[in-house]
Amino acid sequence: MCGTLPVRRVEARSEQMVTIRSKTFDILFGLWTALFGTFIPVLMLIRSPRLVRAVSRAWVRGALFLLKHVVGLDYVERGRENLPADPCIVLSNHQSTWETLAANVLFPEVAVVAKKELLRVPVFGWYLRNQPMITIDRELGTQALRRMIDGAKTALAEGRPVLVFPEGTRKAPDEPIDFKRGVEMIYSKLNVPVLPVVVNSGNFWGISGGPKRAGTIIVSYLPTIPPGLSGSEMVARATAAMEAERLSIG
């Protein structure tokens, strides 16, 4: 009984350090983001989406630097040989805020399909709108899907990959991958390859907040799925491959 007390004290101190590092990151990240807010008036005058995307990548690289050196949270990429040379649809599972940020560095020039509510976030929302990303209002139903497809066509024509989180929302690491309806239509209408991507970020950055934890996030790029299949077949292939990879990387 007495022997367990030192162990508990060590665990408590360790958990306290996790919290301190996480809160320190939050403060530094807030200051870093505020700095990029000062660039907005200049970017508004220049009106260059490409420049906005370049500045956004610098902001994300800073965030990833802080995560690595303050929290101890890094990432590794697997299967980069599977990245296609031409623009494609990127289908990624969604476990935390991390992949929403990191996408700007993992896929330069990316157009992320994001919910409209994010436009209200100070600084971040402005950059999101002016990259531009593809924002959707879920309350519009089928009209939102049509707008998403139109936005994706525009991005692909500009040579930009389109990132979709087909699960629709963040899910815990132990929840199986399950696509929402509409992904089949996006695939059928765009006629480009699909790159399935799996992350395990939820092991270190939780859905409902809490401290960010040290470790290494795995980003796994799986073999592409060609265009021309039925929507249901694409979904079946992507879901099976991504679920197997989710179980593999934990």
Indicate the pairing of strand 194-199 with strand 215-221: antiparallel
CB under 8 A, 24+ apart: contacts of 130-135: 130/43, 130/49, 130/52, 131/49, 131/52, 131/53, 131/56, 132/49, 134/162
Q: Is the dihedral of CA 76, 80, 82, 88 positive or negative?
A: positive
CATH of domain 4-249: 3.40.1130
Question: 136: which DSSP letter?
Answer: E
Q: How confident is the model at residue 64 (pLDDT cuts 50, 70, 90)?
A: very high
**What tokens were used for 64?**
């990833």
Average pLDDT, the chain: 93
pLDDT for 7: 54
- Residue 226: how many CB atoms within 10 A of its CB? 11
Q: What is the pTM of this model?
A: 0.92
Question: H or E stretch including 206?
Answer: none
pLDDT digits (tens, 9 = 90+) for 17-38: 999 999 999 999 999 999 999 9
pLDDT digits (tens, 9 = 90+) for 126-171: 999 999 999 888 777 778 889 899 999 999 999 999 999 999 889 9
**From CA 205, how far away is CA 210, in angstroms rounded?**
8
Q: Is residue 13 predicted with pLDDT exceeding 80?
A: no
